[in-house]
């Protein structure tokens, strides 16, 4: 079931669907729809295919190499790609640091970094959380001391997704200790090949090692890799988090899981209790889509407004977790051969209500916006 679309949206959907059916490599599709692990090469191959077609960054302005698509077109694109079995575009480059560079970067920074994001030449990771600064991000302590034309970084980041693959990290650092904590944070770009950078994997509950600790020991970062002004990184961090949270809400990811649930739960032996739960989750997804469409009607400023992004993040993550729980319950009742594969999906999606800011924190932000 899908909400009504006008003729233009329907035509655009068919264009994207035909492109994905024609160009998505079969081996990638099989891995994704078969609940198997997707590797770095799979992500990069798909990014290069999109880039060759001019679709490498749907949300970017045309002047920066993007498509200039409307917010609704970007949602349709994401939904069609994901439901067809494409891996998501790695968000740290296209959806996170790319928009930051477009809004806050210097001409030199844009010229250096935007094109390699589009082509997949550079992969990125996010250096935000620290052992003592997770939900309370403003308490971060990684030091960056100015020394001539460089900053010297000392400290640690943690829960850094895909740091083992990354060429670059965008990083929040402490450049001033006086005053409000938020007023002493700067936003730096760090070459992951720099001397003093060490990546240590964290084994997660789904038995993957995509999360990492990153240690920085006297790492020298050229000052021209500072984004915006020194001590003004908190504004940039909030802008990026709004983009990230709206992405986590992904309608495409929800619809792919729903489609997989519909296919599996309908197989014999058919459990009416699971079928009932599936219908309930489909209704929740439709309500989620209505909320998304309301925000989309107001453009990106409305979509990424903190309370709206938080609402989408909470509901999108809850729906994905609900669907993955349903898959596990089906596997347990149907056949043990599915349990191992589906358990990886189930355990992996436990983190979706934590990263990007925990759902508990998001509810507090929503309540604060309402004056509660």
Q: Which residues are catalytic?
A: 244
Q: Where are the beta strands (DSSP E) in 16-109?
A: none
**Lookup: tokens for 346:** 């189930």
- Give the largest Cα separation in the chain, rounded: 70
Residues whose CB falls within 8 Å of the CB of residue 54, separated by 6 or more in sequence, listed in order: 67
| 234 and 182 Cβ atoms separated by less than 8 Å | yes
* Residue 219: closest CA among 199, 240, 236: 199
Find the helix or strand (DSSP H, E) in which 246 lies: helix 233-248
CB neighbour list of residue 73: distance below 8 Å, 6 or more residues apart: 9, 12, 58, 67
Q: Beta partners for 198?
A: 215
CA gap 26, 162 in Å, rounded = 24
Nearest to 272 by CA among 340, 333, 342, 337: 333
């Amino acid at each position: 079931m899908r909400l009504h679309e006008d003729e233009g949206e329907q035509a655009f959907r068919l264009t994207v669907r035909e492109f994905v059916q024609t160009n998505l490599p079969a081996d990638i599709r099989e891995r994704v729809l078969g609940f198997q692990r997707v590797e770095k090469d799979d992500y990069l191959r798909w990014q290069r295919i999109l880039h060759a077609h001019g679709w490498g960054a749907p949300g970017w302005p045309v002047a920066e190499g993007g498509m200039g698509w409307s917010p609704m077109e970007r949602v349709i694109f994401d939904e069609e790609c994901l439901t067809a079995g494409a891996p998501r575009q790695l968000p740290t480059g296209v959806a996170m640091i790319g928009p930051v560079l477009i809004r806050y970067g210097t001409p030199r920074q844009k010229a250096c970094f935007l094109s390699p994001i589009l082509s997949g030449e550079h992969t990125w990771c996010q250096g935000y959380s620290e052992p003592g600064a997770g939900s309370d991000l403003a308490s971060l302590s990684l030091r960056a001391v100015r020394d001539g034309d460089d900053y010297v970084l000392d400290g640690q980041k943690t829960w850094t997704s895909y740091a083992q693959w990354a060429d670059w990290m965008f990083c929040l650092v402490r450049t001033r200790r006086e005053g409000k904590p938020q007023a002493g944070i700067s936003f730096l770009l760090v070459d992951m090949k720099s001397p003093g950078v060490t990546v240590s994997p964290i084994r997660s509950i789904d038995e993957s090692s995509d999360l990492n600790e990153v240690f920085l020991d006297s790492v020298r970062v050229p000052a021209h890799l500072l984004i915006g002004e020194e001590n003004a990184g908190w504004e940039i961090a909030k802008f990026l988090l709004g983009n990230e949270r709206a992405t986590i809400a992904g309608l495409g990811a929800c619809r792919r899981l729903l489609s997989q649930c519909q296919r599996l739960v309908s197989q014999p032996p058919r459990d009416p209790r699971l079928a009932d739960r599936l219908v309930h989750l489909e209704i929740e997804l439709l309500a989620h889509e209505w909320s998304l469409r309301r925000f989309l009607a107001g453009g990106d400023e409305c979509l990424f407004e903190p309370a709206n992004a938080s609402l989408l993040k909470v509901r999108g993550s809850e729906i994905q977790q609900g669907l993955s729980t349903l898959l596990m319950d089906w596997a347990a009742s149907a056949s043990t051969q599915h349990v191992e594969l589906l358990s990886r999906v189930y355990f992996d999606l436990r983190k979706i209500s934590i990263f990007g800011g925990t759902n508990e924190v998001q509810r507090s932000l929503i309540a604060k916006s309402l004056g509660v």
